[in-house]
Structure 1
């Protein structure tokens, strides 16, 4: 069996705040937006990459302490740090350089989920 990652689902308290973060600030394109079983859902990402699925949920469904983080590759970590700082988003952890070819840091989304931005050289 061969598997290919399709999407990662995040249940969020405020769909518009999460859209502002993932689409407005991080720049993920909105692939589609729809309603299913009374819940608003947004799929973010390009055709050639796995999607981030945001589902409007109630407060009890959001569990950012569950150990899930989402990672993205950036061309320049320093530029990403400065850009996010200018948008009022501080680093939650890092930057960390675990080896000479990798640097990364974490920020938090509006629900407290960790988002890792990494630069490979």
Structure 2
């Protein structure tokens, strides 16, 4: 058994697609529009898959974050700050781990970690 995908209820499908493509680096791999407001994005290997559904039921929960690996936490932090995001300070819990969080267009916490 393996983890197939995570589903996010999107406030705006277009804003969410742009975020996951431009900020996270995923690519649109399946588009069910116009029949259904559902798209899938994935990394090149297909191991990371995000399903976005714009069905009018927005995410209102909390306590969940999605973590994405980045080669250079400091560069990613600087780039996102320059794009107008408000990332948390970089957290370094030990000498081998660095990460920070931003929030996607739907209120989901996104972690960038190395």
Q: Same fold (TM over 0.5)?
A: yes
> Where do 4+ consecutive residues of structure 1 move more than 3 Å?
none
Q: Aligned-pair distance for 1:7?
A: 0.3
Query: Equivalent residue for 2:77?
Result: 81
More strand by proportion, 1 or 2? 1
Query: Equivalent residue for 1:97?
Result: 92
* Aligned-partner SS, 1:84: helix
Query: Equivalent residue for 1:117?
Result: 112
Query: Using CA pairs below 8 Å that are at least 6 residues apart, which structure has the higher relative contact order?
Result: 2
Query: Equivalent residue for 2:103?
Result: 108
Q: For structure 2, list consecutive stretches of 5 or more residues without a partner in the other structure.
A: none
- TM-score, structure 2 normalization: 0.89
Are 2:40 and 1:43 equivalent residues in the alignment?
A: yes
Query: Equivalent residue for 1:16?
Result: 14
RMSD across aligned C-alpha pairs, in angstroms? 1.6
Residues of 2 paired with 1:86 and 1:57: CA distance?
32
CA contact (8 A) 2:24 2:68 kept: no
* Aligned-partner SS, 1:66: coil
Residues of 1 paired with 2:54 and 2:46: CA distance?
25
Residues 104 and 64 (structure 1), Cα distance of their counterparts in 2 relative to 1, 3 Å cut: farther
Q: Tell me the number of residue pairs that the alignment of Structure 1 and Structure 2 aligns.
A: 113
